[in-house]
Structure 1
Amino acid sequence: MQTPMTIRDHLERARIVYGDRVGIYDEPDQPAPSLGDLTYGQFYDLAQGMAAGLDDLGLEQGARVGIVSQNSARLLTTLFGASAWGRVAVPINFRLGPDEVEYIVDHSGCEVLILDPELEDTLGDIKVKHRFISGEESDSLFKVGAEARPWTPDENATATINYTSGTTARPKGVEMTHRNLWSNAAIFGWHTGVNDRDVYLHTLPQFHCNGWGMPYATTAMGVPQVNLRKVDGPEILRRIETYGVTLLCGAPAVVAAILDAAAEWDGEIPGKDRVRMVVAGAPPPTRTIERVETELGWEFIQIYGLTETAPLLTINRSRQEWDDDTPAERASKLSRQGVPAVGITMATDPEGEVLARGNHILKSYWNNPEASAEALADDWFHTGDGGVIEDDGYLTLQDRKKDVIISGGENVSSIEVEDCLFSHPAVEEVAVIGVPDEKWGETVKALVVVGGDADVSERDLIDYCREKIAHYKCPTSVEFRQELARTATGKLQKFKLRAPYWEGVEKGIN
């Protein structure tokens, strides 16, 4: 027997098995009225109510529903309320500027757009058929008690489109099917030991790879989910203490914020000997990994993946054979990207690019057949990362082959930043590179050749970018050059431009 695997399965199980358990703790400090504490039964009713509300708007199954929001119960409801009844959720990065969000709305074909109240002034003019401000206005979609239109489950149907910055100036829409999301949730949950005694803290942005898929895994297992609107080290520790949190995910910058807060914390660190923290986005320094164990008393788990892989490709979790190691020795082993997750096959090509196969790798890039064919050539997913797979199966990343900077866990297309700087009248040539940064892993640096007698400062160019693109993409420093290293055919030699800033760093990523 074979039945279709859809994310409706996770929601239905939560309703049936854990319907009376509080499953969602909404963020109390937000501009919209908080939804408070929701049982999984109430959460199911909200999600189905949203599907019924979308029915009333005349949205066909397969229609796109966009939401731009920080972490909230309403965003979680949208992930299920759209996809579990046959529509497509499009969670959008709230840090993006109006032009970028407008492009995603147009490109994906969103018919509905839900906006966080804080974003109404900047994004409120985006043209879309149905726009709602999150809160009382968007809550009008919740037709609680109404039966949503039946949907014939199809595991190969697109469930979400997640936009990611890459080697092009415009972001690409990653199509994730129900089967992709189901597989990632099951395998990720299995490897990290998700169970109904856990309490999960949403420190990871829920728009980012659908919160890496943890909302599906935790919902299926009846795990209480605590929403956190904004990353703040002391507040993370307070919520871990208040709710008895056992599991959270985040980028290295979140780890750094927690360690800073722990240094000032009065008393035993919350979650000692209980919390597991899953980290991805960029490999943190070995010393940081060691401090998670020695200063927080938490378990450090590293994963590697991309938006295109839902994201889990490899996982590195401490194993029995390492129990007698010192914390420093264990941290050194944990600094690798890890071994393939169940069902994932990894390889490298002759040039060292990391390749992957598995059940939760993207269906395609939406409306971009050329990029899809390139990424999935020869029946492998081409990650764009350079690495080595050791004899024991562990992957270690060494360089980033594609022109992407990962800063604080967010992808930044250097081409997009270069395009922005090129539009400034004083800029004649520009190369944007990633350089090591202790807090963010990498940060954006612009190398600029100024034309003629133009007079422009570092601050001028940074401010210019901040007016046009998301702030996290903007250069944190600008260095003026007389010329930029190029090949005989005129191509920028980024590796030569990057090299001086990475001297003394073992890998070409940080």
Structure 2
Amino acid sequence: MEKPLLVTDFLDRARRNYGDREAVLAVDGTRYTYDELGERADGFAAALQERGVGKGDRVAVLDPNTHYHLEAAYGSFQAGAVHTPLNYRLVESDFEYILNDAGVTAIYADAEYADRIEAVRDSVPTETFITNDADAVEGDWEAFDEVLADAGGYERPVMSEDEVITINYTSGTTGDPKGVCRTHRTETLHAYTIAVHQELRDDDTYLWTLPMFHVNGWGHLYAVTGMGARHVCTRGVDAAEAFDRLRNEDVTYFCAAPTVLKMLGDHHDEHGGAVDAGQDVRVATAGAAPPEATVRTIEDEFGWYLKHVYGATETGPLITTSDARRYFEDDSDDRFAVKKTQGFGYLGTEIRVVDEDGEDVAEDGETVGEIVVRGNQVMDGYWEKPEATEEAFDDRVEGYYHMGDLAVVDDRGMITIQDRKKDIIISGGENISSIELEDALFSHDAVGDVAVIPVPSEEWGETPKAFVVPANGDLADPGTSEGELLAFCRGRLASFKVPKHVEFVKQLPKTATGKIQKYELRQQEWEGEDRMVGEG
């Protein structure tokens, strides 16, 4: 028997089985049951249809981790619209590009961020503008709660599991941002796998520290809902608030970049106090492994259990886990050797590390190759970019998505990232394009040549650093300063993308054909580190 896999099933199941149970603790303290969450999603679906939004139309959501995000997402799904979440840390030009690229018909934007949409309103195709507080926003915006109050019923269209239901935009790591197209099927199967590997239960309380916009919150938008667990909403990461929720709301599970884990550790060092109310707590962190000291703080001092996972926007995101408890004892130092790896592939996921010819590298923990992956959670392709899609899947090995991360495999089959093939910097969990930074700096008259690389950061794992060759060739008087170049970047880029350091150099290392050898710069900056990737 075959039943279509649809993302609407997750809220449907929660309403059917947990309708009178608490679903959401809102930022303002309001509590909603699954019946109430469902009714509000119904109202948003009806409001979209009343405003001409049809099946397949793109609906953007620009919102921190509030209940409005959940309602707008599920309301969009129920109307058959394509949920298009936006990174609220971007700037007006980024939003202008994405809204045009996706052809967004309607948008819900939190009042704190709606001005960035209002600034580009006349240059995007969007026609419907909804916010949580219309009085706080300049321009013609409708209020979410009033829209719901006036809405009638909606008609759920017939949907297929192979239809695109979300578009998640990358951070523009190689040129303009690309829209990652995910279907009902890919989202559903990814949610199934995280429900298993992250051990989700109906009595879990999930704290939203991970942005909901980030690949639909690593699939927790679906899995937490479908399991009938509780969502505790936030407006970002605040250590004091996180500990308050852990102590008073029975939080049992949350996700945190290594930099957030460090933030929690630093806050506790300064303020002390109980970290929770005695419940079992699981924490998921992604990307490069956090430092051993951070793991010790989380597990030995706080008594929580850390799961290290890995993936990319294009892959669901999650494709591997180092949660392999048959290889270590929970209280043994043996666990660090396992948790520092990216680990094994998720259920139904094929992970390989291949050389330039597409052949598997030796499982010796030393031979470096590129990670490639096949799995039901991997995207179908990029929005209206067939050439980029083909390149992503068929570079070294046909039919596999190429991660752009260089890794080794040990004799257990566990992978460990060593370096990056792409020009990506991951700082505090955010992807930053070195190319975008270089383009911005090149537009300054005093810059003759430039290369941007990641450098180690105790706070963020890694941060961007720019090596600048002055246009006048004079290191003593380069015609500008580090402060001036950083201010120049701040006027053109989101704040988290701005380089933290600028170093003026006589020349950049280059190959005989003129290609900049960033690897040499990284070796210089990462000397003494065990690998040339950070924990951001």
TM-score by length of 1: 0.96
**Partners of 2:221 and 2:43 in 1: CA distance:** 19
CA contact (8 A) 2:287 2:342 kept: no
**Partners of 2:173 and 2:390 in 1: CA distance:** 15
Q: How many Å apart are 1:251 and its aligned residue?
A: 0.8
Q: SS state of the match for residue 236, structure 1?
A: helix
Could you say if the C-alpha distance between residues 441 and 272 of structure 1 is closer, same or farther in structure 2, counting changes exceeding 3 Å? farther
Are 2:350 and 1:333 equivalent residues in the alignment?
Answer: no
**Partners of 2:462 and 2:265 in 1: CA distance:** 19
Structure 2 residue corresponding to 1:299, chosen from 283, 301, 305: 305
**Partners of 2:109 and 2:152 in 1: CA distance:** 24
Amino acid at match of 1:213: G
Structure 1 residue corresponding to 2:249, chosen from 225, 243, 248: 243
Structure 1 residue corresponding to 2:445, chosen from 402, 406, 425: 425
Partner of 1:120: 114
Amino acid at match of 2:21: R
Matches for 1:170-249 after TM superposition, within 5 Å? 170-249=176-255
Q: How many Å apart are 1:133 and its aligned residue?
A: 2.5
1:89-114 Cα deviation digits (max 9, x unpaired): 11100000100111011101101122
CA contact (8 A) 1:203 1:248 kept: yes
Partner of 1:315: 321
**Partners of 1:426 and 1:149 in 2: CA distance:** 59
Are 2:460 and 1:440 equivalent residues in the alignment?
Answer: yes
CA contact (8 A) 1:234 1:261 kept: yes
Partner of 1:507: 531
Are 2:89 and 1:91 equivalent residues in the alignment?
Answer: no
Partner of 2:365: none
Q: How many residues align?
A: 503
Partner of 1:269: 275
CA contact (8 A) 1:282 1:406 kept: no
Structure 1 residue corresponding to 2:387, chosen from 356, 370, 388: 370
Could you say if the C-alpha distance between residues 129 and 241 of structure 1 is closer, same or farther in structure 2, counting changes exceeding 3 Å? same
Partner of 2:65: 71
CA contact (8 A) 2:288 2:417 kept: no
Q: SS state of the match for residue 17, structure 1?
A: helix
CA contact (8 A) 2:21 2:34 kept: yes
Partner of 1:16: 16
Are 2:28 and 1:53 equivalent residues in the alignment?
Answer: no
**Partners of 2:326 and 2:290 in 1: CA distance:** 23
Partner of 2:130: 132
Partner of 2:495: 471
Q: SS state of the match for residue 215, structure 2?
A: coil
**Partners of 1:305 and 1:99 in 2: CA distance:** 27
Amino acid at match of 1:312: L
Q: SS state of the match for residue 322, structure 2?
A: strand
CA contact (8 A) 1:50 1:143 kept: no
Structure 1 residue corresponding to 2:349, chosen from 344, 354, 358: 344
Partner of 2:138: none
1:120-141 Cα deviation digits (max 9, x unpaired): 3333122222222233613343
Could you say if the C-alpha distance between residues 167 and 191 of structure 1 is closer, same or farther in structure 2, counting changes exceeding 3 Å? same
Amino acid at match of 2:87: N
Q: How many Å apart are 1:425 and its aligned residue?
A: 1.4
Could you say if the C-alpha distance between residues 374 and 324 of structure 1 is closer, same or farther in structure 2, counting changes exceeding 3 Å? closer
CA contact (8 A) 1:428 1:449 kept: yes
Amino acid at match of 1:20: D
**Partners of 2:146 and 2:487 in 1: CA distance:** 39
**Partners of 1:304 and 1:227 in 2: CA distance:** 24
Q: Which moved more, 1:69-78 or 1:296-305?
A: 69-78
1:458-484 Cα deviation digits (max 9, x unpaired): 111111111111111110111111111
**Partners of 2:323 and 2:528 in 1: CA distance:** 27
User: How big is the alpha-carbon RMSD for the aligned residues of Structure 1 and Structure 2?
Assistant: 1.6
**Partners of 1:321 and 1:419 in 2: CA distance:** 46
Q: How many Å apart are 1:331 and its aligned residue?
A: 2.3
1:413-471 Cα deviation digits (max 9, x unpaired): 11011111111111111101001111111101011111127521111111111111111
Are 2:467 and 1:450 equivalent residues in the alignment?
Answer: no
Q: Which moved more, 1:144-153 or 1:217-226?
A: 144-153
Q: Which moved more, 1:185-194 or 1:162-171?
A: 162-171
1:375-410 Cα deviation digits (max 9, x unpaired): 111000000000112221211111111111111111
Q: SS state of the match for residue 301, structure 2?
A: helix
Q: SS state of the match for residue 468, structure 1?
A: coil
Could you say if the C-alpha distance between residues 255 and 324 of structure 1 is closer, same or farther in structure 2, counting changes exceeding 3 Å? closer
TM-score by length of 2: 0.91
Partner of 1:5: 5
Q: How many Å apart are 1:19 and its aligned residue?
A: 0.4
What residue ranges of structure 1 are gaps of 5+ in the alignment? 29-33
Q: Which moved more, 1:260-269 or 1:499-508?
A: 260-269
Q: SS state of the match for residue 347, structure 1?
A: strand
CA contact (8 A) 1:277 1:299 kept: yes
Could you say if the C-alpha distance between residues 324 and 75 of structure 1 is closer, same or farther in structure 2, counting changes exceeding 3 Å? closer
CA contact (8 A) 2:48 2:79 kept: no
Partner of 1:163: 169
What residue ranges of structure 2 are gaps of 5+ in the alignment? 135-142, 357-368
Are 2:370 and 1:353 equivalent residues in the alignment?
Answer: yes
Are 2:427 and 1:410 equivalent residues in the alignment?
Answer: no
Q: SS state of the match for residue 112, structure 2?
A: helix
1:39-61 Cα deviation digits (max 9, x unpaired): 10111111111111100001110
CA contact (8 A) 2:464 2:501 kept: yes
**Partners of 1:464 and 1:79 in 2: CA distance:** 36
Amino acid at match of 1:345: E
Q: How many Å apart are 1:329 and its aligned residue?
A: 2.7
Amino acid at match of 1:196: D
Could you say if the C-alpha distance between residues 144 and 200 of structure 1 is closer, same or farther in structure 2, counting changes exceeding 3 Å? farther
CA contact (8 A) 1:286 1:332 kept: no
Q: SS state of the match for residue 141, structure 1?
A: helix
1:301-352 Cα deviation digits (max 9, x unpaired): 00000011111110112514422752x3312321111111000001111140
CA contact (8 A) 1:354 1:383 kept: yes
**Partners of 2:390 and 2:282 in 1: CA distance:** 38
Amino acid at match of 1:364: G
Could you say if the C-alpha distance between residues 258 and 318 of structure 1 is closer, same or farther in structure 2, counting changes exceeding 3 Å? farther
Q: SS state of the match for residue 488, structure 2?
A: helix
Structure 2 residue corresponding to 1:380, chosen from 400, 416, 435: 400
CA contact (8 A) 1:19 1:40 kept: yes
CA contact (8 A) 1:446 1:475 kept: yes
**Partners of 1:430 and 1:83 in 2: CA distance:** 44
Amino acid at match of 1:359: N
Amino acid at match of 1:362: M
**Partners of 1:450 and 1:69 in 2: CA distance:** 41
Q: SS state of the match for residue 210, structure 1?
A: helix
**Partners of 1:84 and 1:430 in 2: CA distance:** 48
